[in-house]
Amino acid sequence: MPELLTEDRGAVRILTMNRPEKRNALNNALTAALLEGLRAADADDAVNAIVLTGAGPGFCAGADLAEFKDLTAENQPLVERRAQLTMSLHEIFPRLTKPVVTAINGAAMGGGAGLALAADLALMAESAKLGYPEVKHGIVAAIVMPNLVRQVGRKAAFELLATGQPVGARRALELGMVNRVVPDAELMAAALALAGELAAVSRPAMATTKALFHQVTELPFGEALAAGREANKRMRAFRK
């Protein structure tokens, strides 16, 4: 069975993590498949939006602990390769030109929670949970930390990271971790409807909106306005 399933619904590409027996835990193979799947979708002219979800009852359990036994101080090259692969996955989302919607169908923990929040928009099933339990295992939610802090702010992020306690869908919505909470049975329909709305937008307008959005969030106000001015001038060239 492939680690990642791909399906097109019109201009929307659905990427489904396919390790249900492991709650879609991120081993090296699935992480690499996700990177390739996201890049391929972004390069495909027939695709205008992406939905990311998990097979089975869980969205993503985070890193596959079965591979942790090999990540030791004595095997530093392997440790470095794994860290780089994980970082590459999380940093690709703002670099994609097409919008990504996560359909969080079940538990999203650790790196899985980071993956759920990395998308541009996130929909969450009522029964799902998000959490960062790394401290309970004596490790650190390191690579997913920067995005979490940007999403929910310092106090809420530190509580999630330091206690390792998961939050339910309603609390995740209150914290701004997700955009909407929907009944479990309606999750994929809602995600596809939202992705369909995004896919119908002019591709240059969507790509520029996404690029500018991620640019201005990291800039001082004056520089952000200047970046907006330049985008404003460029968009005249692709208006219909």
State the catalytic residues: 134
Beta strands, E only, 30-138: 49-54, 100-104, 108-109, 121-125, 129-131
8 A C-beta contact, residue 38 and residue 49: no
Q: Which among 144, 98, 149 has a CA at the least distance from the CA of 118?
A: 144
Domain 4-198 fold: 2-enoyl-CoA Hydratase; Chain A, domain 1 (3.90.226)
Specify whether the CB–CB gap between 13 and 48 falls below 8 A: no
pLDDT (tens, 9 = 90+) of the chain, 240 residues, equals 899 999 999 999 999 999 999 999 999 999 999 999 999 999 999 999 999 999 999 999 998 878 776 666 667 777 788 788 999 999 999 999 999 999 999 999 999 999 999 999 999 999 999 999 999 988 899 999 999 999 999 999 999 999 999 999 999 999 999 999 999 999 999 999 999 999 999 999 999 999 999 999 888 889 988 988 888 888 776 655
E strand residue ranges, 143-183: 167-168, 180-182
Half-sphere exposure of residue 62: CA atoms within 13 angstroms, side-chain side = 22
